[in-house]
Amino acid sequence: MLKKFRKSEQGFTLIELLIVVAIIGILAAIAIPQFAAYRVRGFNSSAQSDVRNLNTTEAAFFSDFRIFGTTELAVALPGSGNLGGGNVITPTAGQIPIITGTDTQLVARGLQIPLGNSIDIIASTTAPGDSFNGMAKHFQGDTYFAVDSDTTSIFFGVDAARIGQNLAAADLPVPAAGADEFTGQAAPYAIGNWAAR
């Protein structure tokens, strides 16, 4: 009886194995690009969340001190950024991203910005500190997200060629009080106009 059972045992044929390998290859060819797209969308969501956090932090800063702040790292003293152009923030170990400014009583003020991993962020103000623009981008993302204190919108511009590129200070339009610097304006790197989200 045992001999009969062993005789009937056979492995898979070469054709069956090739069919299984081909099916796995087809599924992998479909899944891998989709996975990469999901990762980029996740990175973009993180940058969008951080630009919203920047907007909220700026609103709190303005509520407390009657000015908007610029981006700095906490290794710089609060108020050292004064008003005007902020620095692009890419936090590293031991550094805390903050917005900073000097209030109407000439007191240096600072407030921490919640910021995710690999996110570049910048906020810049007008000279009197009554308006600000902010922008964020994930290093591995393909979308720039921006806010303007003169609007309630989150703006975005997509450029797949900028994956793996850092945000530059020149990417952020110079803020102007009472003006929207994003609606209908050209976004950086010839990616078309900014769109509101």
pTM over 0.75: yes
Please check the confidence at residue 86 and state whether its pLDDT lies above 70. Answer: no
CA distance linking residue 30 with residue 148, whole number of Å: 40
CA distance linking residue 175 with residue 150, whole number of Å: 9
CA distance linking residue 20 with residue 22, whole number of Å: 5
Helix ranges restricted to H, the chain: 2-8, 14-65
- The pLDDT of 162-180, averaged and rounded, is 88
Please check the confidence at residue 108 and state whether its pLDDT lies above 70. Answer: yes
CA distance linking residue 31 with residue 120, whole number of Å: 29
Quick check: 152 and 196 in contact, CB under 8 A? no
CA distance linking residue 195 with residue 180, whole number of Å: 12
Query: How does pLDDT run across 159-168, given as a tens digit for each residue?
Result: 888 898 888 8
CA distance linking residue 30 with residue 2, whole number of Å: 45
For strand 70-73 and strand 195-196, is the pairing parallel, antiparallel, or unpaired? Answer: unpaired
- The pLDDT of 109-136, averaged and rounded, is 90
